[in-house]
Amino acid sequence: MARQSDPNPEDRQTVEEATLPPGATTADESLLQRRFDRPDFLHGDPWRMWRIVSEFVQGFDTLAGLPPAVTIFGSARTQPSDPFYEQARALGAELVKAGFAVITGGGPGIMEAANRGAWDAKGISVGLNIELPFEQGTNPYVSVAISFRYFFARKTMFAKYAEAFVVFPGGFGTLDELFEALTLIQTGKLKHFPVILFGSEYWKGLIDWINGPMLTESKISAGDITLLSITDSVQEVVNIITAAHRAATASAGGLAATAE
């Protein structure tokens, strides 16, 4: 008998279960395809625009009803035996208990761990997967899944529906997501919410570099350092996010009362 927390495929809300590699043909397309060459315009940028729009519409339509959510980033290469996997899993569960949905990139490693923790706690576990040449499949602990072709559409969903970002040790993709969030907050394009680095030893070199050449050579301002928090504690992450959410909610309530 399966454990109660084990994934049940029938419970998954899958908007687009699988994205085919570029150039592949679906079974329906093969069935209905007439014997003539596809017009060139179907492969051009104007036609591609509609695919891009459809990804935004799909993301907005699916995620609009989410409760407050936290986006968790980290390496897809992290193994279940890695302590960070267990910490990400614990964080996913604790965030659900605190009233948050959990959003990840939907793949393996840290993403799987965070989704798994949210799943175990019977919360909303979102996976925003991306079409890659080496086929990153959606992990089995996702209850709301969306697949994207375009990174920029996916990144919009990560930010739009998040109350905070938690960044576990990762590689280029993780750094890309981290610095894009910091840039948007720094330039005022995104509201200031917590961006938390988990794993102080892993991030030490990066923080030393930010506090060193970046700051001393005036590539950033001293206040920019405060956009980041660093911790090794799951509970501290939850405390930071909960406090920020309460403050934002109180501020929004005050503005609404003033407007009335």
Are 101 and 123 in contact by the 8 Å Cβ rule? The answer is yes
4 belongs to a structural domain: no
- pLDDT digit string, tens, across residues 225-237: 999 999 999 999 9
Q: Give the pLDDT of residue 131.
A: 81
Whole-angstrom Cα distance, residue 241 to residue 190? Answer: 16
- Residue 16 in any domain: the answer is no
Residue 150 is part of which domain span? 53-259
Distance CA 39, CA 44 (A): 10
| 183 within domain boundaries | yes
- Whether 15 maps to a domain, the answer reads no
CA distance 81 to 121: 21
The rounded mean pLDDT for the chain is 86
Q: Is residue 169 part of a domain?
A: yes
Residue 212 has a pLDDT of 96
Tally of domains in the chain: 1
Per-residue pLDDT at 168 exceeds 90: yes
Residue 19 pLDDT > 60: no
Domain of 140: which CATH number? 3.40.50.450
What CA–CA distances, in Å, run from 134 to 115, 123, 131?
A: 21, 30, 9
pLDDT digits (tens, 9 = 90+) for 198-214: 999 999 999 999 999 99
Please report whether residue 129 resides in a domain.
yes
Q: Is residue 128, in this structure, part of any structural domain at all?
A: yes
Predicted pLDDT at 170:
97
- Is 14 part of any domain? no
> pLDDT tens, 80-99?
999 999 999 999 999 999 99
For residues 257 and 171, which has the higher predicted lDDT (pLDDT)? 171
